[in-house]
């Protein structure tokens, strides 16, 4: 990966207030976005309490919101603080994603570093660093080493986001048993409870906001609790002891992020979270290769096969060889095989101590399957279900990855199936402790897994993960993850995912990063036979709408073999993009994405809707001017609908060019997928 700074406009220059000036009436510190629309101020009040606020286009966006921190073993950072210094800086640089939804990312922001110092003993000090972009802002606490603060035992943050305008919120409850796998609630902001991030907000004037965090490293995940009115306060995920975070100074917290956009589509196009992460730490990552894959998987969720051994065991040698052949015959790069290793036979959910990550079941010949996959040019995807027992997994981690390395497996799906609060870690005394999936201990566990995998040139795809905070920039082998209700809910039966689910995910969960949603179900029936909330066209559109560098064709091979014309789109659609544009959408209603292939000049379009049928106009202004394209259209037919004929799919071709506008007719619960095959350049 290459990092190409364009220019540094100003290098962090000291602009104000020497240390000794503690006047509490000092002018607020101010910083604006490069386009000047978003302005942030940091100030202290008469009691020395620091706060931040933001305006956009001269209108209040964030009302005064507190900054500070509670400690387990020391007085809080909150009162009797004064601005002891401030430094401003700016950056305008581009850098490249080795794989992603676009190749080139621009990082253009203005920075303000404010030093807050206690005016009385113990006279501690810390910085708050703001970076303000045209599409939002991030800020973090940067705490230097100082006498009496070698370790920080953080009880919680006092960080607030007081959203000024009236707003509608889309949010998931935090610290509940089903982790991040709840349906999004849509409520007035004033009715939010304790929420996970990202939380998405639409203000009355159409401004779209999302609160999230970036670069979550060695720290617990941040949730938000509504204190009163529109006041959201950070609520760090509890740890296994009194402190929620225990770190050594100097220490910088993750970035607290507010995305700001004029529309839902713009919100879904932000690179701000990635920009706030550290650059690639791995150097050459050409071994991280995006791919599509099939697997021994859907049948376990439908209940016709089992992960456990026995007559219905899914991962037998014979079935594995068959699916490898299916992948090879149809040009699908990868095969995931779940339930291949010992440990699934008891009550595996939430236990995990029985798993052996190097011992295959007797009816699964791992060496033979791996050899066959290599011979047929298919990449096996490894599977490590831990049932949340991180400590047990860590005891085998090296051997587990060594085995895959030896077999040529370069991607591993991990899993942490356990109720919230029931992950298992060891504390510093070696005692087993129950932990939240997003506790500091689990954040550090995932960090160890990613590093161990990287040493062996293996990519990871965690399910029941810690939420994405953009760490794929630093660790490009952290390719994708779950972290929301995926397709599996539709196998299990009612209530499956509702028709608006994917159009909600795009503007909520997907703001964090890629998701292994596992689309492409052609059978479209739950295990008890009810229709899933989709049409066939929508299943195809999801490959464009829900970005992931690992993208599953999740259905059984026989369902694809029964409809090869529709399967063609899954074979064609790329998983690595030169550029991506959300061209229209409303949260939880519909979305249209256009993306350009990284390896050709072809463009792809995906559109999905909720329960409403809609006709959307899609101007093709993303296509290269002066060039003809063949649009291969996969659309809902006249009888299509998730409660009507789910399979009514029309496949047709037409010639188009930039400047044309397509009418996209989406059935209830439907969608549309288009491949634009580029003709020779300049043929118009
Ligand atoms: C939950 C994952 O999301 C799913 O994909 C997997 O099949 C099961 N856990 C078993 O590991
Ligand atoms: Ca899951």
d(CA 383, CA 464): 14
Would you say 535 and 543 are in contact if contact means Cβ atoms under 8 Å apart? no
- Mean pLDDT across 566-593: 98
d(CA 127, CA 150): 16
- Mean pLDDT across 449-466: 98
Q: Give the pLDDT score at 23.
A: 40
Residue 537's pLDDT band, with cuts at 50, 70 and 90, is very high
Of the candidates 159, 204, 185, 178, the residue with the CA atom closest to the CA atom of residue 61 = 204
pLDDT tens for each residue of 236-246: 999 999 999 99
* Tokens 């990635």 belong to residue: 274
d(CA 21, CA 116): 11
Q: Give the pLDDT score at 4.
A: 33
Query: Has 111 been annotated as catalytic?
Result: no
Ligand 2: distance of its center to the CA of 544 in Å? Answer: 21
Q: Which atom of ligand 1 is least distant from the CA of 464? A: 3
Q: Give the pLDDT score at 17.
A: 34
Whether pLDDT at 585 is above 90: yes
Q: Which atom of ligand 1 is least distant from the CA of 486? A: 3
- Mean pLDDT across 337-364: 96
Q: Of the ligands numbered here, which is closest to the C-alpha atom of 355? A: 1
pLDDT tens for each residue of 388-433: 999 999 999 999 999 999 999 999 999 999 999 999 999 989 999 9
- Mean pLDDT across 296-312: 98
Q: Give the pLDDT score at 12.
A: 30
Q: Which atom of ligand 1 is least distant from the CA of 307? A: 10
Q: Is 264 helix (H, G, I), strand (E, B) or coil?
A: helix
Whether pLDDT at 118 is above 80: yes
CB atoms within 10 A of CB 55: 16
Q: Is 219 helix (H, G, I), strand (E, B) or coil?
A: coil
Of the candidates 36, 51, 211, 60, the residue with the CA atom closest to the CA atom of residue 133 = 36
- Mean pLDDT across 125-144: 98
Query: Beta-strand (E) ranges in 421-498?
Result: 423-426, 432-435, 459-462
Q: Whose CA is nearest to atom 6 of ligand 1?
A: 415
| 204 or 11: which leads in pLDDT | 204
Residue 495's pLDDT band, with cuts at 50, 70 and 90, is confident
pTM: 0.95
Average pLDDT value over all residues in the chain: 95
Of the candidates 93, 91, 71, 142, the residue with the CA atom closest to the CA atom of residue 113 = 142
Ligand 2: distance of its center to the CA of 465 in Å? Answer: 9
Is 482 a pocket residue for ligand 1 (Cβ < 6 Å)? yes
* Per-residue H/E/C for 404-442: HHHHCCCEEEEECCCCCCCEEEECCCCCEEEECCCCHHH
Burial-class residue 92 by CB neighbours within 10 Å (0-12, 13-18, 19+).
middle
- Mean pLDDT across 439-458: 98
- Mean pLDDT across 345-364: 95
Q: Of the ligands numbered here, which is closest to the C-alpha atom of 338? A: 1
Residue 9's pLDDT band, with cuts at 50, 70 and 90, is very low
Ligand 2: distance of its center to the CA of 485 in Å? Answer: 7
Helix (H) or strand (E) segment spanning residue 265: helix 264-267
Would you say 314 and 338 are in contact if contact means Cβ atoms under 8 Å apart? yes
Percent of the chain with pLDDT over 70: 96
Burial-class residue 652 by CB neighbours within 10 Å (0-12, 13-18, 19+).
exposed
Residue 683's pLDDT band, with cuts at 50, 70 and 90, is low
Catalytic entry in 213, 488, 500, 578: 488
pLDDT tens for each residue of 11-30: 333 333 333 333 444 689 99
Would you say 457 and 287 are in contact if contact means Cβ atoms under 8 Å apart? yes
| 7 or 199: which leads in pLDDT | 199
Whether pLDDT at 288 is above 50: yes
């Amino acid at each position: 990966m290459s990092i190409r700074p364009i220019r540094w406009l100003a290098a962090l220059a000291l602009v104000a207030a020497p240390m000794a000036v503690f006047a509490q009436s000092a002018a607020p510190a101010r910083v604006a976005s490069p386009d000047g629309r978003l302005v942030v101020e940091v100030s202290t009040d008469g009691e020395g309490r620091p706060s931040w606020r933001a305006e956009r286009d001269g209108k209040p966006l964030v009302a005064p919101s507190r900054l500070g921190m509670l400690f387990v073993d020391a007085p809080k950072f909150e009162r009797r603080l004064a601005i002891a210094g401030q430094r401003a800086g700016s950056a305008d640089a581009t850098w490249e994603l080795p794989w992603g939804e676009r190749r080139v990312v621009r990082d253009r922001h203005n920075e303000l570093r404010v030093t807050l110092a206690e005016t009385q003993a113990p006279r501690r000090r810390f910085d708050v660093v703001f970076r303000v972009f045209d599409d939002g802002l991030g800020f973090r606490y940067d705490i230097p080493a100082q006498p009496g603060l070698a370790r920080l035992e953080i009880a919680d943050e006092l960080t607030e986001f007081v959203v000024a305008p009236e707003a509608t919120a889309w949010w998931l409850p935090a610290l509940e048993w089903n982790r991040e796998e709840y349906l999004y609630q849509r409520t007035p902001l004033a009715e939010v409870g304790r929420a996970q991030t990202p939380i998405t907000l639409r203000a009355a004037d159409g401004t779209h906001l999302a609160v999230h965090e970036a670069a979550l490293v060695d720290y617990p995940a941040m949730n938000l609790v509504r204190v009163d009115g529109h006041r959201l306060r950070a609520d760090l995920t509890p740890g296994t002891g009194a402190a929620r975070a225990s770190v050594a100074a100097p220490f910088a917290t993750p970035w607290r992020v507010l995305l700001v956009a004029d529309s839902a589509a713009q919100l879904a196009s932000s690179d701000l979270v990635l920009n706030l992460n550290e650059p690639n730490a791995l150097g050459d990552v050409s071994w991280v290769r995006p791919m599509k894959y099939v697997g021994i998987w859907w049948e376990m969720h439908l209940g016709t096969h089992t992960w456990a051994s026995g007559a219905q065991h899914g991962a037998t040698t014979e079935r594995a060889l068959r699916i490898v052949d299916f992948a090879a015959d149809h040009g699908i790069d990868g095969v995931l095989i779940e339930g291949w290793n010992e440990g699934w036979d008891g009550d595996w959910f939430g236990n995990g101590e029985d798993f052996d990550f190097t011992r295959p079941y007797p009816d699964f010949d791992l060496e033979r399957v791996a050899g066959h996959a290599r011979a047929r040019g298919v990449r096996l995807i490894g599977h490590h279900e831990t049932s949340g027992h991180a400590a047990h997994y860590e005891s085998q981690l090296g051997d587990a990855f060594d085995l895959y390395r030896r077999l040529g497996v370069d991607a591993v799906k991990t899993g942490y199936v356990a109720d919230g609060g029931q992950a298992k870690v060891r504390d510093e005394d070696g005692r087993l402790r129950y932990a939240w999936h997003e506790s500091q201990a689990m954040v550090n566990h995932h960090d160890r897994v990613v590093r161990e995998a990287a040493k062996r040139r293996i990519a990871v795809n965690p399910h029941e993960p810690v939420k994405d905070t953009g760490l794929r920039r630093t660790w490009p082998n952290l390719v994708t993850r779950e972290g929301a209700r995926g397709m599996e809910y539709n196998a299990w039966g009612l209530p499956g995912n509702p028709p608006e689910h994917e159009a909600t995910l795009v503007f909520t969960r997907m703001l964090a990063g890629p998701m292994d949603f596992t689309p492409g179900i052609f059978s479209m029936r739950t295990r008890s036979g009810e229709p899933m909330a989709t049409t066939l066209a929508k299943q195809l559109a999801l490959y464009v709408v829900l970005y992931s560098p690992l993208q599953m064709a999740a259905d059984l091979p026989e369902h694809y073999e029964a409809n090869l014309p529709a399967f063609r789109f899954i074979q064609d659609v790329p998983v690595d993009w030169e550029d991506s544009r959300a061209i229209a959408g409303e949260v939880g209603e519909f979305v249209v994405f256009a993306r350009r292939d990284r390896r050709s000049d072809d463009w792809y379009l995906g559109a999905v809707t909720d329960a409403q049928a809609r006709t959307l106009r899609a101007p093709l202004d993303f296509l290269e001017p002066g060039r003809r394209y063949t649009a291969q259209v996969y659309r809902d037919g006249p009888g299509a609908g998730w409660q009507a004929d789910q399979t009514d799919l029309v496949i047709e071709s037409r010639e188009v060019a930039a400047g044309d506008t397509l009418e996209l007719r989406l059935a209830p619960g439907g969608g549309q997928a288009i491949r634009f095959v580029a003709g020779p350049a300049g043929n118009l």
